[in-house]
Chain A
Amino acid sequence: MQDEAAAPGGRLRPASQLRLPPAGRLATYALLVVVVVLTALPLVWMLLSSVKPDTENAAYPPTFLPRQYTLENYQVLFRVSDFGSYLRNSAILASTSTLATLILATLTAYSMTRFSFPILRRLGELSLFVYMIPPILLLVPTARIVVGLGLADSLLAVAVVYTAHLLPFGLWILRSYFLGIPVELEQAAMVDGCTRFGAFWRVVLPQATPGIISTGIFTFNASWSEYLFGATLLTSGDKMTLSPGLSLLMAASVLVTLPVVVLFGIAQKQLVSGWGEGAIKG
């Protein structure tokens, strides 16, 4: 590293930064703007449409900024549909299955990396293989099990199903995380008097936090957004698509998106680093 590589602040400039000629820099910025606009347009459109009155949403030519702002769509949404209860159900479902997946995947991934259980390894591989089969195929046998257990139309049953479907992926990510944490660290802790669980809790878990967070985001996002199994196993779940009126649906869209947005905003950094160090380390 020569002095010329140092940025004005004294910090080393990331080496990936190549010195582009001004024209190249301008072109790069232009490209970035295009990407950002194309990404943002549908989101902005959703937000704007949700505060336009019905008549304006159905009008041609469409208006970009609302001529008239209204929160009526949101009010109608809650009045006409059971939107509040859909929202509550989704929240219960997504948080339960995320929590269950994280606890089970963390414990199992740790057990699998620190001890050798050939049966568990085979099982993990087999369940990853099942990923190749269109999930819709699993729907019928799964529904039969759920109904057979007398758990038809139960949030708990769907949470268990989601957990089972998300586990292989979670296991896979966390396994590579735990493999990357030196065993010597826990051994040192155990020599110093920690129990095995103490070493796991105090030494290994903090090291694996980025992996656990990115797995958690993936899991929450997947179960919050899931449609097929939810719509089939919960007979009250599919009404949302029938909500009358386009703008009504637009208002719903904003509310459905909100929780993952908040989560994403909090953990955006972890997600990027998590994916890098974990699953797809290569």
Chain B
Amino acid sequence: MSARAALPPARSRSDDRAVAFTFALPTALLLLALTIYPFLQATLDSMFKLNLSTRAGPFVGADNYLVLAGAPDVHAALWRTLEWVVANVAIQTVLGLVIALLLNAQLRGQTIARALVLFPYMVPAIVVALVFRFMFNDITGIVNYLLVSSGLLRRPVAWLSSPDSALWAAVAVNCWKYTPFMVIVFLARLQTVPLELYDAARIDGASAWAVFRYITFPWLRPVLLIAMLLRTIWTANDFDLLYLLAFGGPLSSTTTVPLLIRALAFGKQDIGMASALALCAGAFLCMAAFVYLRLYQRSERQLQ
């Protein structure tokens, strides 16, 4: 047996390396063909005046970008996307934190509550859109009925069919569906808080707020920032829920950047402009990601 008690010979290790590379090859090819190539193609397209169906058109350099910079509907869509993202991420983070702490508080019936609260994340966007369109119906919807009959509202609100309220109704729906993501992530992190810290705090007689402020929150912060980063990217780029809920209307009041890209590419058949807008939006997101990652690094350092 002692002959075996050595690392495998070098030759078999380089064989292993070859096998490992072969294992990774299909992934590499898929990523190249279906994420990186389309991205590069779109970058190229953004410099052409390109029609969707003919795919022909002249090189226009930065013209598409210049047109975008001066278009009021683009400005409106960018601004709207900012409102949409900030409102969603802020509400989902705060609610997610509160709910995660609640579900972590060792209450009775907690297992059932936990399963139920995480559930909306699993409901497909199309279903969420259908159910909420039904519930937010101006006339027969249960939301208006409950709010009016309980006296909270004087008269019914046209939630999804009025330009003033559509985006905010959509924010409410989006928070219903995606807060559970935050809860899952925070709950997982809460399981890993070093118990010694709590014991020390208990001996010192710290108040519940002090424990949260000086132990729980700093421990959560790195994960909180990463989850916020992910939700920022996903919310900014989300097409399905907003489109299925309100189709960008009424009067463009729910047209965020991805919905405008769709209108440019498939409505106006202008691929060049659509690509330019998508790349601009991507650049803004990269800046946001940079800020999050800097904050993340700082919060990690503070933990140590």
B is bound to A? yes
| Complex interface residues of chain B between 13 and 30 (CB less than 8 A to chain A) | 16-17, 19-21, 23-24, 26-28, 30
Are A35 and B117 in contact, CB atoms less than 8 angstroms apart? yes
A28 sits at the interface (CB 8 A) = yes
Are B34 and A137 in contact, CB atoms less than 8 angstroms apart? no
A75 sits at the interface (CB 8 A) = no
- Contacts A61-B149, A271-B184, A282-B222 given; indicate if A42 touches B26 (C-beta within 8 A): no
For B44-67 the 0/1 string (1 means CB < 8 A from A) is 010000001000000000000000
Are A126 and B36 in contact, CB atoms less than 8 angstroms apart? yes
Interface-located stretch among B68-76, B158-166, B192-200: B192-200
User: Given the complex, which residues of A lie within 8 Å of B227, measured CB to CB?
Assistant: 280
B286 sits at the interface (CB 8 A) = yes
- The distance from the CB of A282 to the nearest CB of chain B, in whole angstroms, is 4
User: Given the complex, which residues of B lie within 8 Å of A167, measured CB to CB?
Assistant: 27, 30-31
Q: Counting chain B CB atoms within 10 Å of each CB, which of A39, A119, A133, A226 scores highest? A: A133
User: Given the complex, which residues of B lie within 8 Å of A117, measured CB to CB?
Assistant: 20-21, 24
Are B38 and A28 in contact, CB atoms less than 8 angstroms apart? no
Are B20 and A110 in contact, CB atoms less than 8 angstroms apart? yes
User: Given the complex, which residues of B lie within 8 Å of A261, measured CB to CB?
Assistant: 119, 122
B127 sits at the interface (CB 8 A) = yes
A205 sits at the interface (CB 8 A) = no
Are B274 and A108 in contact, CB atoms less than 8 angstroms apart? no
Are B211 and A18 in contact, CB atoms less than 8 angstroms apart? yes
Identify the closest chain B residue to A116 (Cβ): B17
Are A130 and B35 in contact, CB atoms less than 8 angstroms apart? yes
User: Given the complex, which residues of B lie within 8 Å of A129, measured CB to CB?
Assistant: 286
- Contacts A136-B262, A226-B240 given; indicate if A20 touches B208 (C-beta within 8 A): yes
- The distance from the CB of A251 to the nearest CB of chain B, in whole angstroms, is 11
User: Given the complex, which residues of A lie within 8 Å of B36, measured CB to CB?
Assistant: 123, 126-127, 130
User: Given the complex, which residues of A lie within 8 Å of B26, measured CB to CB?
Assistant: 104
Are A168 and B31 in contact, CB atoms less than 8 angstroms apart? yes
| Complex interface residues of chain B between 95 and 145 (CB less than 8 A to chain A) | 98-99, 102-107, 113-128, 130-132, 134-135, 139-142, 145
| Complex interface residues of chain A between 224 and 280 (CB less than 8 A to chain B) | 224-228, 240-241, 246, 249-250, 252-253, 256-257, 260-261, 263-265, 268, 271-277, 280
B91 sits at the interface (CB 8 A) = no
Expressed in whole angstroms, the Cα–Cα distance for A190 and B116 within the complex equals: 44
Expressed in whole angstroms, the Cα–Cα distance for A257 and B127 within the complex equals: 8
User: Given the complex, which residues of B lie within 8 Å of A14, measured CB to CB?
Assistant: 106, 195
Expressed in whole angstroms, the Cα–Cα distance for A261 and B20 within the complex equals: 36
A202 sits at the interface (CB 8 A) = no
B185 sits at the interface (CB 8 A) = yes
- Contacts A196-B19, A271-B184, A275-B184 given; indicate if A42 touches B132 (C-beta within 8 A): yes
A5 sits at the interface (CB 8 A) = yes
Are A135 and B176 in contact, CB atoms less than 8 angstroms apart? no
User: Given the complex, which residues of A lie within 8 Å of B19, measured CB to CB?
Assistant: 196-197
| Complex interface residues of chain A between 10 and 64 (CB less than 8 A to chain B) | 13-18, 20, 24, 28-29, 31-32, 35-36, 38-40, 42-43, 45-46, 49, 57-62
Expressed in whole angstroms, the Cα–Cα distance for A46 and B191 within the complex equals: 33
Which listed residue (A114, A164, A226) contacts B30, Cβ 8 A? A164
Are B282 and A132 in contact, CB atoms less than 8 angstroms apart? yes
Identify the closest chain A residue to B95 (Cβ): A35
Are B34 and A165 in contact, CB atoms less than 8 angstroms apart? yes
| Complex interface residues of chain A between 89 and 143 (CB less than 8 A to chain B) | 104-105, 107-108, 110-112, 114-115, 117, 119-120, 123-124, 126-127, 129-142
Are A140 and B8 in contact, CB atoms less than 8 angstroms apart? no
Expressed in whole angstroms, the Cα–Cα distance for A104 and B34 within the complex equals: 15
Q: Counting chain B CB atoms within 10 Å of each CB, which of A16, A119, A191, A252 scores highest? A: A16
Interface residues on B, range: 35 or more
A1 sits at the interface (CB 8 A) = yes
- The distance from the CB of A92 to the nearest CB of chain B, in whole angstroms, is 16
A215 sits at the interface (CB 8 A) = no
- Contacts A123-B31, A127-B35, A140-B265 given; indicate if A111 touches B113 (C-beta within 8 A): no
User: Given the complex, which residues of B lie within 8 Å of A111, measured CB to CB?
Assistant: 20-21, 23-24
Are B131 and A42 in contact, CB atoms less than 8 angstroms apart? yes
- The distance from the CB of A137 to the nearest CB of chain B, in whole angstroms, is 4
User: Given the complex, which residues of A lie within 8 Å of B30, measured CB to CB?
Assistant: 104, 160, 163-164, 167
For B219-257 the 0/1 string (1 means CB < 8 A from A) is 000110011000001001101100110000000000001
- The distance from the CB of B237 to the nearest CB of chain A, in whole angstroms, is 4
B7 sits at the interface (CB 8 A) = yes
Beyond the given pairs A140-B271, A264-B122, 4 more chain A to chain B contacts, judged by CB atoms under 8 angstroms and listed by A's residue number, are A62-B141, A134-B261, A227-B124, A249-B130
- Give 12 CB contacts A-B under 8 Å: A20-B208, A32-B107, A111-B21, A112-B24, A117-B24, A126-B36, A134-B261, A136-B239, A137-B261, A164-B31, A250-B131, A281-B223
* Residues of chain B having any CB pair with chain A under 8 Å: 4-8, 12, 16-17, 19-21, 23-24, 26-28, 30-39, 41-42, 45, 52, 98-99, 102-107, 113-128, 130-132, 134-135, 139-142, 145, 149, 176, 184-185, 187-193, 195, 198-199, 202, 208, 211, 216, 222-223, 226-227, 233, 236-237, 239-240, 243-244, 257-258, 261-262, 265, 271, 274-275, 278-279, 281-282, 285-286, 289, 300
